[in-house]
A and B are shown apart, each in its own frame.
Chain A
């Protein structure tokens, strides 16, 4: 049934694609200047790549769902190794108690929880300390150290952990009770080094957080599900990720030289030819920025962090001996740089064509093509994740406003990273919406 829906979807998008390309061809013929002709070819190629990416991810995601049903029917429930959950926390007194409660309510019992206070200036440490000891059969430790950043805090706790598997959970996140139990099963396969979980937005209070909710299920979860079919998930999200401890130790733990330590760690694992999977039913809820400037702050840090991680491994971009690693690096580069820049370039070109030659129908077809893909992707994700159906409605605004604004932030972040302009971590103020 899923394959039939996928084929129908592919047919609709394909027809629309041909229609749009016919319009592109008409516009191409009206221009004689080489620059404009080349620009139109570039935009057509970019459109093809983006549509191909969407279709591929939906296809791989369907394949992954089928694969998962097969591989877990005979799951070995006796596999219950020691797991340590590390919660790095800096000034998280608003959310830390909720986060800890969600961890002690885990159905998985062979569990150690380390709350790692990174020199908070608020009451994070005092609040966490109240939970220390044995709680619902889980061992809870609360550690503190001088402030030194998330990666150092994670390494500090890692050295003091007793589990064979390490789960990293952000202090502003809340886990579903079965999250640990679902994720740990993957490590029966010795080739698996890490497993990512699903992240959902908990504070859907305004249009901005609802658009992020859609982005999380479509942009992040669908993409991760697709990547997991190839066992090449490129970023283990901060709110929920589990690792084999021996693998983290082998690559020297978390690095301190990027602002995206999660992306950097995942890249180092892929570089070692280790496999990274995704469990869509292991769910974490996180608080998304509910103000535009806070969202830009978050995306600024994400983009620069990812670019720093790519820059660290840039030698492998041209060294195709490790094909998977080079492929993942190019993919990340496409998402972080090429896509936002090409999106802006295409928009500017369409604006120019419309203003110089009168409003052209290509603009609406081009926009509709992407919007159909967005709505289809959103509907697919909503159906597989049992999310609120009304979220699909926001897919219309998703491309028109959200992606455009986020891409502008990505472009400026890329320029600043290029010129190595100094940056700070840019911690968001929490409002306790988990």
Chain B
């Protein structure tokens, strides 16, 4: 195998590995974001009001420090 053909083969292998790596990384990123979103339970005042079925919601004051 001559030098140019060897380089071509090396570039081919690197390109294929990079493509596989890039696609895997993208899906890992999407999976991480999904898990992060699940970890944060967010609800609006209106949603909670509907869930409780009351006209007003009374909140407890909590010291966050």
Instruction: Give A residues with C-beta under 8 Å from B.
Output: 292-293, 296-297, 300, 344, 347, 350-351, 354, 359-364, 367, 400-401, 404-405, 407-409, 412, 424, 426
Contacts and interface: CB of A to CB of B under 8 A. Distances in A.
A362 B15 CA distance: 14
B19 A296 contact: no
A363 B18 contact: no
Q: Is the interface of B mostly helix, strand, loop or mixed?
A: helix
Contacts of B28: 293
B12 A363 contact: yes
Contact of A409 (B15, B26, B33): B26
Given A400-B14, A400-B18, A296 B8 contact: no
Given A351-B12, A359-B12, A364 B4 contact: yes
Given A359-B8, A359-B12, A364-B4, A347 B19 contact: yes
A288 B59 CA distance: 40
Contacts of B11: 363-364, 367, 400
A165 B11 CA distance: 50
Contacts of B45: none
Q: Is the interface of A mostly helix, strand, loop or mixed?
A: helix
A407 B23 CA distance: 10
Given A359-B5, A364-B4, A424-B37, 14 more contacts: A293-B25, A293-B28, A296-B29, A300-B29, A347-B15, A351-B12, A359-B12, A363-B8, A364-B8, A400-B18, A401-B18, A408-B19, A408-B23, A412-B26
Contacts of A347: 15, 19
A297 B30 CA distance: 9
B29 A297 contact: yes
A361 B8 contact: yes
Contacts of A404: 15, 18-19, 22
B49 interface: no
Given A347-B15, A359-B12, A408-B19, A296 B7 contact: no
B62 interface: no
B16 interface: yes
A347 B20 CA distance: 13
Contact of A361 (B4, B15, B25): B4
B32 to A, nearest CB: 6
Nearest to A358: B5
5 contacts: A297-B29, A361-B8, A363-B8, A400-B14, A408-B19
B25 A292 contact: yes
A362 B12 CA distance: 11
B58 interface: no
**Most chain A CB inside 10 Å of its own CB: which residue of B9, B14, B26:** B26
A359 B15 CA distance: 13
Contacts of A296: 25-26, 29
Contacts of B16: 351
B58 to A, nearest CB: 21
A354 B25 contact: no
A390 B21 CA distance: 26
A347 B17 CA distance: 12
A293 B11 CA distance: 24
A362 B4 CA distance: 10
Contacts of A344: 19
A344 B15 CA distance: 10
A408 B22 contact: yes
A124 B45 CA distance: 25
A350 B8 CA distance: 10
A408 B8 contact: no
Contact of A293 (B15, B18, B19, B29): B29
A360 B8 contact: yes
Contacts of B22: 404-405, 407-409
B18 A405 contact: yes
Contacts of B15: 347, 350-351, 363, 367, 400, 404
B5 A361 contact: yes
Nearest to A355: B12
